[in-house]
Chains A and B, each alone.
Chain A
Amino acid sequence: MTTESAPRVTTDAKPSAPGSSRAPREAGTPAPGAGFTRRPRLQAKSVLKHAILISAAIIMIYPLLWMVVSSFRPSEDVFRAPGLWLTEAHLENYATGWNALTSPFSTYLLNSAIVVLGAIIGNLVSCSMAAYAFARLDFRGKKWMFAAMLVTIMLPIHVVIVPQYILFSQIGWVNTFAPLIVPKFLATDAFFTFLMVQFIRGIPKELDEAARIDGAGHPRIFLRIILPLMTPALATTTIFTFIWTWSDFFSQLIYLTSPNVFTVPVALRSFVDAQSSTDWGAMFAMSVVSLLPVFIAFLIGQKFLVKGIATTGIK
């Protein structure tokens, strides 16, 4: 066991090292000897490193685990049980929390689901169209439009929210989901347009040209060639839109003021306000319910999430 793990530690410490500088040293020193002198130090170091990383990981994740555990405990335990040990699972908090507001919590989950679904479809359709134009088409003013698109990624929402609110309230859209969904059909989440532009640029142009020779126009090339090939970018967009829209608070707080259209974040917020004597157990239970979809999306889409931020470098 130990002799086997030793060379693995050394190779792990220096991956992909075909560099000329290391080659002679490796060849010069007999493997067992080198392992002998290096192993204890390297191993101790690696153990220490893992110990630090694991402690850090526990500290990072402890609050979340504690919230989950506490949601299964009697409410008053929130203030006296800092541990993670659960003797018996109480489900009362979930029952209380579910029915604590004017509507059962399922209403808010459904409302959030509608907003999220609308936002996902909107982003997929509008951003992929805009991205195709920016990545593949040659048109007047492209450079400036592209620059404008990039700048809007960084624009604070607050400089537009007041007139947007006025606009939407005049068309009677306050307390509907339209202000949260319609803008997504207009490619306002420029981040995703950018992500897709990056992706389309990586698709060989020869494919487009071959299709064009066969007589395909741009709509056909877009639908038949580019869209099927960019599914990873579409998946990344779907997952990010899901997570961000599900957690988005500011715009939902502003546009949704009557309880029957509350989404999950707005409902949770009114829960905090309504509870003067604060039933933390029930609040934790509903918080856990609200985080669960994000957590599941994270588990399913981790690969796309990690790739998405690594390639675009945003968020």
Chain B
Amino acid sequence: MSALAELGSLKKSGGNKAQGKVKRTFKDNRAAFVFLAPWIVGLVAITIGPMLISLYLSFTDYNLIQEPNWIGGENFTRMMQDDRFWNSLRVTLTYVIVGVPLQLGLALAVAMALDKGIKGLPFYRSVFYLPSLLGSSVAVAILWKQMFGTSGLVNQLLAMVGITGPGWISDPSTALGSIILLHVWTFGSPMIIFLAGLRQIPAMYYEAAAVDGAGRTTRFLKITLPLLSPIIFFNLVLQIIGAFQSFTQAFIVSGGTGGPSDSTMFFTLYLYQRGFGQFDMGYASAMAWVLLVIVGAFTAVNFYASKFWVFYDD
């Protein structure tokens, strides 16, 4: 069961916990405190504390050197008028909305092709999975920078068939696409999760459907998709959250600038430039909270929409 399913079941069990509470003894309070001590310190000092402080800083002009001054909502009003902020939001949204469905679609397609005990499954699984382990590294980002350069690997291969390719990463209209492609290339880890999910679907469902004369498409739409929908759902939620935070690839490919013409200026990259380039920590904190709210909103919408398409077998 995934973390998301777990959260969902916690929420569901919340209602009828009331009667259970009475007979609860909490007999391990002291032992639990010892075992959880590191985690509690971490939660307070590394997570919740900094979250609250960054919320406070987002209403200040903190710059690491001078004491923070309360400036109210100025960071947020500045943000509303900041074209580069809006651009970074647009770039990131494009990346998320195009990259995630493409990656998940490919993951599902390949997982379906690999299901049904295909020969050489371990080989295929390894080859398709490997890029997703390496994809977030600086080294692969360097490779991508070369591959999609004006005389990079992609254009060398295109030249062999007589096509003169553009300078993919130096052209504002294709630079983001090259980075999205890198994201799609890492479809291996959702593929593994889909493979595990497909294996859970009882073969008799398909057999019964085949007897009733259901074709491949019908079986996919009426059996595979509904039974896989919880897995598709949490992959979707987690990949969206992850994609919003992408940083390394755009940073390396653009040499830290988000160029050309801000076309790969991801939200996190702009946040980094404002916070750790210009030490405008107040503005960076405000941006971080906007990011949290956007990611939270996407997740909430996902959860809400899931009622209409996610099917739970139990």
Residues of A within 8 A of B (CB): 12-17, 19-22, 49-50, 52-53, 56-57, 60-61, 63-64, 66-67, 78-82, 125-126, 129-130, 132-133, 137-140, 142-143, 145-167, 169, 183, 185-188, 191, 193-194, 198, 217-219, 222, 243, 246-247, 249-250, 253-254, 264-265, 268-269, 272-273, 280, 283-284, 286-288, 290-291, 294-295, 298, 302, 305-306, 309-315
Contact = CB atoms under 8 A, between A and B. Distances in A.
A312 B10 contact: no
Contact of A78 (B10, B146, B252, B287): B146
B195 interface: yes
A309 B107 CA distance: 14
A30 B123 CA distance: 34
5 contacts: A63-B143, A145-B36, A146-B10, A268-B139, A287-B142
Given A82-B153, A313-B193, A313-B234, A22 B248 contact: no
B97 interface: no
Nearest to B185: A60
A309 B134 contact: no
Contact of B281 (A162, A249, A315): A162
A176 B151 CA distance: 39
Interface string B194-226: 011000000110011011000000000000000
The 3 closest A-B pairs by CB, nearest first: A186-B42, A287-B139, A313-B2
Nearest to A239: B133
Contact of A268 (B49, B138, B256, B268): B138
Given A12-B118, A61-B130, A310-B193, 10 more contacts: A138-B25, A160-B54, A162-B57, A218-B35, A254-B272, A264-B138, A283-B142, A302-B126, A309-B193, A314-B3
A309 B192 CA distance: 7
B39 to A, nearest CB: 4
Interface residues of B, number: 114
A13 B58 CA distance: 58
B79 interface: no
Interface stretch (B168-176, B239-247, B305-313): B239-247
B10 A143 contact: yes
B160 interface: yes
B189 A272 contact: no
Contacts of B35: 129-130, 132-133, 137, 218, 222
Nearest to A140: B26
A246 B134 CA distance: 10
Which of A49, A148, A158 is packed against the most chain B CB atoms within 10 Å?
A: A158
A294 B207 contact: no
B46 A269 contact: no
Interface in B42-97: 42-43, 45-47, 49-51, 53-54, 57, 64
A140 B128 contact: no
A44 to B, nearest CB: 15
A291 B137 contact: yes
Contacts of B119: 12, 50
Which of B24, B29, B139, B291 is packed against the most chain A CB atoms within 10 Å?
A: B139
B145 A272 contact: yes
B95 to A, nearest CB: 15
Contacts of A137: 28, 31-32, 35
